[in-house]
């Protein structure tokens, strides 16, 4: 690795302030008067300028000044449903008038109304509807994102969603990790037959996987979703293919979802407002990341907080994501999700930044990004801020100077 990353480098940035997120350097892993270099898409140097192994001009084909800007790893949005058609603004109005998310779902609205719109859309229409949302995330510093299926709920429509998710990544120069979430809601053609639906969805998985469309498997384990037993069947289908799992767990009630995710060695348990301490312990033992989704908490005006003290006590890594979706979290900024995580869940701005970088990468099973370290991918954001805490402080606004993915500028 070292030999491969030896100078000459492709690019060297001087006068940089690095928030490396290394654990051995104190808050944010800060390096003042830093230098950052990359080669062949990987970080080759991230350290104090004084430790450069020679004169800058002799080290890289291109040497530039970052003019004192703060630089972080590219942000990672590890939980989105950003491929969908239509919107749910009317449902938003109904909820403001007192209808609950569950009530709307039981009436056939909610997720199923997005399913109707998504089934009707062609692949091109779905791509056109989804690209602006991914562009918005990228403009705010996101270089890797996860996108779930789950608004198709039949083989062709789930496949269409996953294909669009892959195309979003290709069009925008971002890494997209796809997650199969057919167990999101019961489609009308299977009304009253959830077990049959799960069996059908488990049958689609090998075919979609064979097409290279699935990186992980998820389910909505909830009273208005699927039971733990049905979730388990979906997880077994994933395991048979060697696919990792993650779970919408314990969002509205405690069905033991987080513990189930941990039992399967899950990458993450997401939402987890109602998760108890025994399940947190199981997550810690299994290395399952807690994905906090403050956007959904905020929009649904929830009051039950995730078990933050327990997560900290058992050192469970906490990630923060947008949950970008048309129903519970029409949130198109990961920085805003970080801000909401601080305000609602009392994360520190540093925890929020680690949650949107290194811990989020881990929630996707990615260990090659999330920190500014030699050998990691050169996914790098330069920011117009005076301190990294500002990344979780501003509500909106444009704070990005530039975004590089694997050393290539994409913004
Ligand atoms: O993460 N809870 C289920 N899934 C989404 C909501 C999807 C929707 O309402 O369209 C979530 O909150
Ligand atoms: Fe979600």
Find, among 266, 410, 399, the residue nearest to 336 by Cα.
399
Q: Predicted ipTM?
A: 0.94
Is the minimum distance from the CB of 307 to ligand 1 under 6 angstroms?
no
Q: Is pLDDT at 274 greater than 90 in this prediction?
A: yes
**H-type alpha helices, 346-382:** 349-355, 358-363
Domain assignment present for residue 332? The answer is yes
Is the minimum distance from the CB of 220 to ligand 1 under 6 angstroms?
yes
pLDDT in tens, 32-90: 999 999 999 999 999 999 999 999 999 999 999 999 999 999 999 999 999 999 999 99
Is 101 in contact with 95 (CB distance < 8 Å)?
A: yes
Number of domains in the chain: 2
Residue range 12-31: mean pLDDT, rounded? 97
Ligand 2 center to 302 CA (angstroms): 15
Residue range 127-152: mean pLDDT, rounded? 98
Angle at the Cα of 184 from the Cα atoms of 183 and 185, rounded to 5 degrees: 100
The fraction of the chain above a pLDDT of 90, given in percent, is 98
Strand-strand pairing, 70-73 and 380-383: antiparallel
Is the minimum distance from the CB of 230 to ligand 1 under 6 angstroms?
no
Q: What is the pTM of this model?
A: 0.98
What is the number of the ligand closest to the CA of 326? 1
Q: Where are the beta strands (DSSP E) in 212-357?
A: 216-221, 246-249, 268-271, 289-292, 318-320
User: Helices (H) and strands (E) in the chain — how many of each?
Assistant: 15, 16
Residue range 240-244: mean pLDDT, rounded? 98
Ligand 2 center to 179 CA (angstroms): 11
Q: Is pLDDT at 3 greater than 90 in this prediction?
A: no
* Upper half-sphere CA count for residue 348 (Cβ side, 13 Å): 7
Is the minimum distance from the CB of 323 to ligand 1 under 6 angstroms?
yes
Angle at the Cα of 368 from the Cα atoms of 365 and 373, rounded to 5 degrees: 140
Residue range 336-360: mean pLDDT, rounded? 98
Domain boundary among 329, 344, 363: 363
Q: What is the pLDDT of residue 2?
A: 60
Q: With the C-alpha atoms ordered 155, 158, 161, 167, is the resulting torsion angle positive or negative?
A: negative
CA of 105, closest atom in ligand 1: 9
- 226 and 292: one domain? yes
Q: What is the pLDDT of residue 216?
A: 99
Residue range 363-382: mean pLDDT, rounded? 98
CA of 84, closest atom in ligand 1: 10
Q: What is the pLDDT of residue 4?
A: 83
If you ran DSSP here, which 8-state letter would residue 9 be given? B
- 36 and 160: one domain? no
- 153 and 223: one domain? yes
Is the minimum distance from the CB of 80 to ligand 1 under 6 angstroms?
no
Is 234 in contact with 202 (CB distance < 8 Å)?
A: yes
Here the CATH number for the domain that contains residue 244 is 3.20.20.140
List of residues 6+ apart from 380 with CB closer than 8 A: 36, 38, 43, 71, 72, 73, 74, 372, 403, 404, 407
pLDDT in tens, 285-315: 999 999 999 999 999 999 999 999 999 999 9
CA of 151, closest atom in ligand 1: 10
Domain assignment present for residue 3? The answer is no
- 81 and 134: one domain? yes
- 379 and 263: one domain? no
Q: Is pLDDT at 323 greater than 90 in this prediction?
A: yes
* 10 in a known ligand binding site: no
Is the minimum distance from the CB of 350 to ligand 1 under 6 angstroms?
no
Q: Is pLDDT at 1 greater than 60 in this prediction?
A: no
In DSSP terms, 217 is beta-bridged to: 180, 245
Residue carrying the six token digits 């701005």: 349
- Concatenate the DSSP letters of all residues of 137-150 into one string: HHHTTEEEEEEE--
Round the average pLDDT of the chain to a whole number and report it.
97
Ligand 1 center to 342 CA (angstroms): 21
Find, among 276, 263, 367, the residue nearest to 314 by Cα.
276
* Residue span of the structural domain in which 169 resides: 75-363
The fraction of the chain above a pLDDT of 70, given in percent, is 100
pLDDT in tens, 186-230: 999 999 999 999 999 999 999 999 999 999 999 999 999 999 999
Is the minimum distance from the CB of 246 to ligand 1 under 6 angstroms?
no
């Amino acid at each position: 690795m070292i030999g491969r990353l030896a100078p000459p480098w492709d690019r060297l940035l001087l006068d940089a302030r690095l928030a490396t997120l290394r654990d051995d350097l104190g808050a944010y892993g800060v390096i003042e008067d830093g230098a950052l270099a990359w080669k062949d898409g990987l970080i080759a140097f991230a350290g104090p300028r004084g430790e450069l192994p020679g004169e800058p001009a002799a080290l890289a084909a291109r040497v530039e000044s970052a003019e004192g800007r703060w630089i972080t790893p590219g942000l990672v949005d590890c939980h989105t449903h950003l491929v969908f058609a239509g919107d749910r603004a009317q449902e938003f109005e109904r909820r403001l008038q007192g209808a609950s998310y569950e009530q709307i779902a039981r009436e056939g609205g909610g997720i199923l109304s997005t399913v109707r719109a998504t089934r009707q859309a062609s692949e091109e229409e779905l791509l056109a509807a989804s690209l602006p949302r991914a562009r918005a995330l990228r403009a705010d510093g996101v270089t890797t994102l996860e996108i779930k299926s789950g608004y198709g709920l039949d083989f062709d429509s789930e496949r269409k969603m996953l294909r669009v998710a892959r195309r979003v990544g290709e069009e925008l120069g971002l890494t997209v990790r796809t997650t199969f979430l057919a167990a999101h809601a019961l489609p009308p053609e299977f009304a009253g037959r959830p077990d049959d639906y799960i069996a059908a969805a488990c049958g689609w998985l090998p075919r979609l996987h064979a097409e290279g469309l699935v990186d992980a498997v998820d389910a909505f384990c909830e009273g208005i979703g699927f039971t733990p037993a049905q979730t388990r069947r979906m997880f077994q289908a994933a395991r048979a293919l060697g696919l990792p799992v993650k779970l919408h767990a314990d969002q509205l009630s405690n069905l033991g979802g987080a513990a189930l995710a941990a039992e399967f060695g899950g990458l993450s348990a997401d939402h987890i407002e109602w998760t108890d301490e025994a399940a947190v312990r199981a997550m810690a033992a299994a290395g399952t990341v807690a994905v906090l989704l403050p956007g959904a908490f905020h929009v649904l005006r929830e009051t039950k907080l995730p078990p933050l003290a327990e997560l900290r006590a058992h050192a469970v890594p906490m990630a923060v994501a947008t949950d970008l979706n048309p129903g519970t979290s029409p949130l198109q900024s990961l920085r805003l999700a970080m801000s909401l995580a601080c305000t609602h869940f009392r994360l520190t701005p540093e925890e929020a930044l680690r949650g949107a970088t290194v811990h989020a990468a881990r929630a996707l099973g990615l260990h090659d990004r999330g920190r500014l370290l030699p050998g990691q991918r050169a996914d790098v954001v330069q920011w117009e801020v005076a301190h990294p805490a500002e990344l979780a402080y501003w509500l909106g606004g444009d704070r990005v100077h530039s975004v590089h993915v694997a050393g290539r500028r994409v913004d």
